[in-house]
């Protein structure tokens, strides 16, 4: 893969003789004098040396949804700004996540498999699992490296005081309730519809999900009810908050981490007035186009403020598409959902289409523009990669499952530093990736019949007859042909990574895994 190579004088100290150093010193003095005469501070005071980081996380946008991944105009929903971001940076084609939103976000923010923090299922109402106080997050990593930090959008890692973003290194937080997701906007209306709670509409609204905000050291505050109307326009609010944060940190000459987990792609796809009807495929397409526009607003702000070149921007999705299980949210029964491209499955499964999705990374002057990497890259890998880039310190008292992929970003390695990945659903290790092979230890299949046929988060798992199922995702991207009989040798390297993981659990036991269907052993 093409890459730029920068030559640093520190690599060749012998090339600087005394005369060179004197000339260099004179030149620096002239520049310094001129700078003072113009009434401006030196460049180092104007611009932090460490890159700013903007991490935009979409929600359930599939591999086949964006133009730069074969979707866009072909899908009836053009994505020009994200396509531009791809041209200006690096496009990952083996970006792998966890099977659902809470697990993927836990993996992103901790650099660990979600099960290590008891978050290997989607957090739902009544679920006891929440981010532990001892978890070390990306917010704490950047905060320790001297960054201002903010999250605007969806946390989904628990609402307990010890689980909040502001308890884990983030200075500012504004968004939806920290323990639930975007569909919470429908809670009040569906409660009214079914008369399930004896309360007036005003009482239901007051009790229902609320937009919240907090700053470090202060308690969570409610702002307003999270209604369908608020849902339709929430990303405008999050972008305004983000732009304000960027402007304030620019004025303070402080490096920043902006984590923007906005709503693009997640049901209910209620488009704003500006984008309603813009696409040719209904609400989902409208919301994809709206999200593309909002990404453009962030990029334009960085350019306007002159910090475009000193900011590393990531756009990624937390999961593959939220598909058949939520068709009822759509347009008159049409398939108002994302597209997994050539891969099989959807959110909630451990299939390739559920865990392989989009990721674009731009860092001018460091990442070669218009490049593509086929390196296997997990969502967990961002944490140690950022630690390398910003000089942050990762904890050593726990297993870190992410790997430093700086070489992939800078074009120094085509293969990267990862060749395997495990997938968990609840307490179960259900699948593994090793190179181009997918290995299933559980048979994940839809439940029900007819219109009630449920894949995704409502799919069922069945025990196998002692042997895993093996697919080659390069020969067979849709995972239609089991090839374990022809390639039985694949089991050895696949099971080796399982053994290595199990050894770490002996030393660092996992907390109880989430479980909201079996209670004979107590709640997890």
CB neighbourhood size of 247 (10 A): 13
Per-residue pLDDT of the chain (524 residues; tens, 9 = 90+): 444 433 333 333 333 343 343 333 433 333 333 333 333 333 434 444 899 999 999 999 999 999 999 999 999 999 999 999 999 999 999 999 999 999 999 999 999 999 999 999 998 888 888 999 999 999 999 999 999 999 999 999 999 999 999 999 999 999 999 999 999 999 999 899 999 999 999 999 999 999 999 999 999 999 999 999 999 999 999 999 999 999 999 999 999 999 999 999 999 999 999 999 999 999 999 999 999 999 999 999 999 999 999 999 999 999 999 876 666 666 666 777 899 999 999 888 999 999 999 999 999 999 999 999 999 999 999 999 999 999 999 999 999 999 999 999 999 999 999 999 999 999 999 999 999 999 999 988 777 777 667 777 777 777 888 889 999 999 999 999 999 999 999 999 999 999 999 999 999 999 988 888 877 666 55
| pLDDT, tens digit, 9 for 90 and up, residues 184-241 | 999 999 899 999 999 999 999 999 999 999 999 999 999 999 999 999 999 999 999 9
Q: Where are the alpha helices (DSSP H) in 47-145?
A: 80-88, 101-110, 138-144
156 belongs to the catalytic site: yes
pLDDT for residue 448: 73
Interatomic CA distance for residues 62 and 406, integer angstroms: 25
Q: What is the chain's percent helix, strand, coil content, to nearest 5? A: 35, 15, 45
3 belongs to the catalytic site: no
Q: Which run of H or E residues covers position 213? A: strand 210-215
| pLDDT, tens digit, 9 for 90 and up, residues 338-347 | 999 999 998 8
CB neighbourhood size of 348 (10 A): 25
Q: Which run of H or E residues covers position 225? A: strand 221-225
Residue from 68, 156, 417, 478 carrying the catalytic annotation: 156
> Whole-model pTM?
0.89
Q: What is the CA radius of gyration of the chain?
A: 24
Residue from 3, 12, 68, 101 carrying the catalytic annotation: 101
């Amino acid at each position: 893969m093409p890459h730029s190579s920068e030559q640093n004088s520190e690599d060749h100290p012998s090339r600087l003789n005394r005369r060179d150093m004197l000339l260099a010193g004179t030149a620096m003095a002239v520049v310094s004098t001129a700078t003072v005469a113009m009434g401006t501070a030196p460049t180092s005071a104007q611009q932090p040396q460490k890159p700013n980081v903007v991490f935009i996380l979409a929600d359930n946008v599939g591999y086949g949804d964006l133009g730069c991944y074969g979707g866009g105009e072909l899908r009836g929903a053009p994505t020009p700004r994200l396509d531009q971001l791809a041209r200006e940076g690096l496009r990952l084609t083996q970006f792998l996540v966890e099977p659902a939103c809470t697990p993927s976000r836990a993996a992103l923010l901790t650099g660990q498999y979600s099960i290590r923090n008891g978050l290997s299922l989607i957090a739902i109402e009544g679920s006891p699992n929440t981010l532990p106080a001892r978890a070390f997050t990306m917010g704490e990593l950047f905060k320790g490296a001297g960054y201002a930090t903010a999250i605007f959008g969806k946390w989904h890692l628990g609402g307990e005081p010890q689980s909040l973003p502001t308890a884990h290194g983030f200075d500012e937080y504004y968004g939806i309730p920290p323990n639930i997701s975007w569909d919470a906007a429908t809670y009040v209306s569906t409660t009214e519809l079914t008369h399930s709670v004896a309360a007036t509409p005003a009482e239901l609204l007051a009790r229902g999900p609320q937009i919240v905000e907090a700053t470090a050291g202060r308690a969570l505050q409610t702002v307003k009810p999270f209604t369908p109307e608020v849902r339709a326009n929430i990303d405008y609010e999050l972008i305004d908050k983000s732009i304000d944060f960027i402007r304030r940190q620019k004025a303070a000459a402080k490096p920043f981490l902006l984590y923007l987990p906005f709503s693009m792609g997640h049901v209910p796809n209620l488009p704003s007035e500006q984008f309603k009807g813009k696409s040719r495929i209904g609400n989902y397409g409208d919301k994809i186009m709206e999200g593309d526009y909002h990404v453009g607003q962030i990029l334009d702000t960085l350019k306007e403020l002159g910090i475009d070149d000193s900011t590393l921007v990531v756009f990624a999705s937390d999961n593959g598409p939220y598909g058949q299980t939520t068709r009822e949210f759509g347009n008159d029964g049409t398939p108002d959902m994302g597209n997994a491209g050539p891969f099989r499955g959807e959110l909630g499964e451990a299939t390739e289409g559920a865990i392989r999705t989009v990721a674009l990374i731009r860092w001018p002057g460091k990442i070669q523009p218009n490049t593509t990497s086929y390196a296997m890259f997990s969502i967990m890998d961002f944490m140690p990669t950022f630690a390398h880039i910003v000089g942050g310190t990762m904890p050593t008292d726990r297993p870190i499952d992410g790997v430093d992929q700086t070489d992939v970003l800078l074009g120094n390695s085509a293969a990267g530093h990862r060749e395997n990945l495990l997938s968990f659903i609840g307490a179960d290790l259900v699948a593994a990736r090793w190179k181009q092979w997918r290995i299933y230890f559980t048979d994940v299949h839809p439940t029900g019949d007819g219109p009630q046929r449920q894949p995704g988060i409502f799919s069922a798992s069945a025990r196998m007859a002692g042997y895993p199922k093996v697919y080659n995702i390069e020969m067979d991207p849709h995972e239609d042909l089991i090839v374990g009989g022809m390639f039985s040798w694949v089991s050895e390297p696949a099971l080796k990574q399982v053994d290595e993981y199990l050894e770490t659990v002996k030393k660092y036991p996992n907390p109880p895994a989430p479980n909201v269907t079996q209670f004979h052993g107590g709640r997890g």
